[in-house]
Amino acid sequence: MDLIHREGLARVAKFSTPHGIISTPTIMPVINPNIRTISIEDMKKMGMEAIITNSYIIRRNDDLRNHALEKGLHDLMGFDGPIMTDSGTFQSYVYGDIEYGNIEIVDFQEKIGSDISTILDIFSVPEDSHDKAEKAVDETYRRMTELSGERQTILAGPIQGSIYNDLREKSAKLMSGTKAGYLPIGGVVPLLEQYRYGKLCEIIINSKLNASFDKPIHLFGGGHPMFMGMAVLLGVDIFDSASYVKYARDGRLLFQEGTRDLKELMEFPMWSPIYGKYTSKELRESPVEERTKVLAHHNLFTIFMELKEIRERIYEQTLWQYVEEKSRAHPALYAAFKNILKYKGKIEPFFELYRKPPLYYFDESSECNPYFERLKKFISGNPRFEGQGNHVPEGAWQPSRLSGKFIKEQYEKSSSPYFIRWMGIDVPVELEEAYPIEQIIDTAHYMEYPSHEVPEISPSKKEKIRDFDLEKIRTLCDFQFGRGTGREVFPDGSEITKSRATGRIRTVSMNGKFLATMRAHDGFLGLNIEGGKRLLNARKYPSNRVVVNEDSAEYNAKGYNVFRKFVIDFDPDIIPLNDVLVVDSEDTLLAVGRAMLSGIEMATYSGGMVVSVNHHTKER
């Protein structure tokens, strides 16, 4: 997987196959080789890049089998792009044992030229006991390991485990350690049909967090647009579904927020490809075959429209907000969103240090957002913020501005911590400009309250005992790089320059050497080389580090970006978009740059850029 853009676990990426690249997130429409409801060309116009079909159906039919063996799967399907094949697992579950074994069906998929071939796994259902589900996990793993030799096809190793989180975790770890290059999450269609989205979210989370991040996560059968945003938020890359046809046969239309029955629909939306071509009455009265084809076209178009919206949301870094908004569309989705919040501590490390748009505050559920969680984790148990604290008086603080008089007369003449009461959290006043404290939009912006004037503060005869600007950058440093680093990186005597126009901190230096800048767009620190050296001395190995081998060290010291294949060690607690130190095996500083991956992800990615270098120690 080549990562292009990200928001937490969601990613826009590219996955290479023998017949081309698949851009994620996307869906593979299920195509029955005997029935073509929508043409390949029409699917391509909607955005289709890959399809999935069933090798078991092809093998059982003499004409299909001979065509596929003689001319190849792609000729049979009339498609020159990536094709994935299923193995017959579902048929085996429904009808009992099928006439082909695992090795035999995988060999067949490879012979006909499938790009992604699925092993004959054991299908588990929600009603299975833990013991039965575990046996299915073990047998599925055994079947993967029995496939010997190099393959010309990418092997898909399904993650099974029914509704049991520990088994999904086990299966994900087992499959990630095999030659499987593709990881579908199986056995979830019954949950989708029953609207058990909360349990499905648990399955996705426990599968994703224990799988190799370098391999695509595919959700078998998860093609309803109302759930796709939530699934992508939790790390699903690729979907497949025949729902676009199945719903059409039943006279139902897919919409981004749910499903509607043609019998009850008065008008088609203007965005639908069938708008203006038919009335709902005309379609209800049309022959079944024609109606099915028209509704299937609408349904598949809706799916791809939702995927385009999801991709755009990842680029904007507003997918969490989109999912939070959309969860109000159905009680099952809202319950699922609440279930996601239970895992906020596990998913927080994957979210970037900051994001481009502001954070939206809707209600108390917004307080479980990963950015809130990160703030609370920093504040909780931190000795700097314990004991008797003070709150900035109401009216003295507004986003992006603290009263200068308040700072002069109160903060700088006191050693006690000061807090802003912010969205239900007591936030250290020093973080006032950092994301998301300053960059938030909440209901208070749009509600009428009495205006408050900045309170009058009586003059104090106390001497100044601390500097607010210095404490601000020290607190930011502690937040970004670990408790206690602020005083080490920015000692007494640090020189701070501020913008004449805004009064904000711009740069920090020591003895004429730049240590860091304070970025205007997110309120965080960007380290220079001198600041990196001080951080290196303040933190023990491997904290805040990405270690490269000798082949890469010279290039990184000259400002070239760091790629995963040259990385030999790293701090597992790195979060994306935070500054990191690039060092060699002797712990010599080479460069300072911005991490593209979390430390957890670095453990399993095999390629791609991991650090975008900003400052380096040598000239090119």
Catalytic positions, please?
86
Neighbours of 189 (CB within 10 A): 17
CA angle in degrees (0–180, nearest 5) for 160-161-167: 120
SS3 content of the chain, % helix, strand, coil (to 5): 40, 20, 40
Secondary structure, 3-state, 423-439? CCEEEEHHHCCCCCCCC
Amino acid at 407: I
Cα(436)–Cα(316) distance, rounded to whole angstroms? 16
Cα(464)–Cα(571) distance, rounded to whole angstroms? 39
Cα(226)–Cα(320) distance, rounded to whole angstroms? 14
Within a 13 Å sphere around the CA of 557, how many CA atoms are in the beta-carbon half?
A: 15
Secondary structure, 3-state, 479-525? HHHCCCHHHHHCCCCCEEEECCCCCCEEEEEECCEEEEEECCCCCCE
Residue 464: phi and psi, rounded to 5, are -65, 125
Cα(590)–Cα(556) distance, rounded to whole angstroms? 6
Cα(223)–Cα(314) distance, rounded to whole angstroms? 19
Cα(185)–Cα(203) distance, rounded to whole angstroms? 8
In terms of Cα–Cα distance, which of 238, 241, 164 is closest to 207?
A: 164
Q: Are the beta carbons of 303 and 254 closer than 8 angstroms? A: yes
Helix (H, G, I), strand (E, B) or coil at 271: coil
Helices 225-233, 331-341: crossing angle, 10 deg rounding: 0
Q: Are the beta carbons of 500 and 442 closer than 8 angstroms? A: no
Residue 536: phi and psi, rounded to 5, are -60, -40
**For residues 351-375, b (16+ Cβ closer than 10 Å) or e, as one string?**
bbbbbeebbbbeeeebbbbbbbbbb
Cα(120)–Cα(126) distance, rounded to whole angstroms? 19
Cα(202)–Cα(339) distance, rounded to whole angstroms? 8
